[in-house]
Amino acid sequence: MAYEFFYWPEIQGRGEFVRLALEDAGAAYIDVARGSESEGRGVAAMLAVMRGEGTSHTPFAPPFLRDGETIISHTAVVLLYLGGRIGLAPSDEDGRLWTHQLQLTITDIVKEVYNSHHPIDEDKWFHEQKDEAIARAAVFRRDRLPKFLGWFERVLEANPAGPGHLVGGSVTYADLSLFQLIEGLRFAFPLACARELAKLPRVGALHDAVAARPRLKAYLASERRVPFKETGIFRRYSELDG
């Protein structure tokens, strides 16, 4: 039976980290909110689950996944659930937990990316908090971006199985998520990201290796991969790139 995946249809957002895992694994899944209402899908079907219709485990927000009667929400938890089932997580507990920790760290930096353009109020437009965003983005570029990406470089260097992957000797969902993080940073902070990647050969090599994976390469070239835009997490405002 196919997994049912729920996320806003018009943006990549946090849901794209899950989509990449499902696509790379070749897993059967239904992108519910992108379906038609005549088929019982679409955004209305997603909102019905969020109202608690048919479940006592009401998700707060997408992304979330339904596997039979089980509903799992939050990107990192969805990937923790899927990882071993679709061949994108280690089989041992220590490896699974380490992969989950890496994903949670990616979750942390993604939140900081969002805060760089919405530092005061999520319900206000960028131009309504532009001065605060410029100040916050300067801190992100100067301190936070190097700290996070430098840590991933050290993780790759320290991997006993070699620097080709974050965990062990084969691809995990953490590798795919680091790829997506770099893609988003290249869109939102092209100048700052290029400066940092020039110092981080292992992170850059992992990004390129993931992009070349056959199923992902096909997905990235397809219409199902919606472009980055100024309504998602990663938003390009030249004022924020220094």
Domains in the chain: boundaries: 93-213
Dist. CA 168–CA 188, nearest whole Å: 30
Dist. CA 235–CA 10, nearest whole Å: 14
Question: The tokens of 186 are what?
Answer: 């290249």
Fold adopted by 93-213: Glutathione S-transferase Yfyf (Class Pi); Chain A, domain 2 (1.20.1050)
- Is residue 31 classed as helix, strand or coil in its secondary structure? strand
Question: How long a stretch of residues is the chain?
Answer: 242
Dist. CA 15–CA 8, nearest whole Å: 8
Phi, psi of 222 (to 5 degrees): -90, 170
Q: Tell me the pTM.
A: 0.95
Dist. CA 203–CA 178, nearest whole Å: 8
- Residue 49: partners with Cβ closer than 8 Å, 6 or more residues away: 6, 55, 58, 59, 64, 66, 71
Predicted pLDDT at 56: 84
Tens digit of each residue's pLDDT (9 = 90 or more) over 197-226: 999 999 999 999 999 999 999 999 999 999
Dist. CA 210–CA 24, nearest whole Å: 9
Q: How far is CA 99 from the centre of its chain?
A: 14
Question: The tokens of 25 are what?
Answer: 């694994």
Adjacent-strand bridge partners of 67: 70
CA angle (209, 93, 149) in 5-degree steps:
40
Mean pLDDT per 10-residue run, the chain (242 residues)? 95 97 98 85 94 89 95 98 98 97 98 95 91 96 98 98 97 98 98 97 98 98 95 95 90
Adjacent-strand bridge partners of 66: 4, 71
Question: The tokens of 145 are what?
Answer: 């971006």
Tens digit of each residue's pLDDT (9 = 90 or more) over 88-106: 999 999 999 999 999 999 9
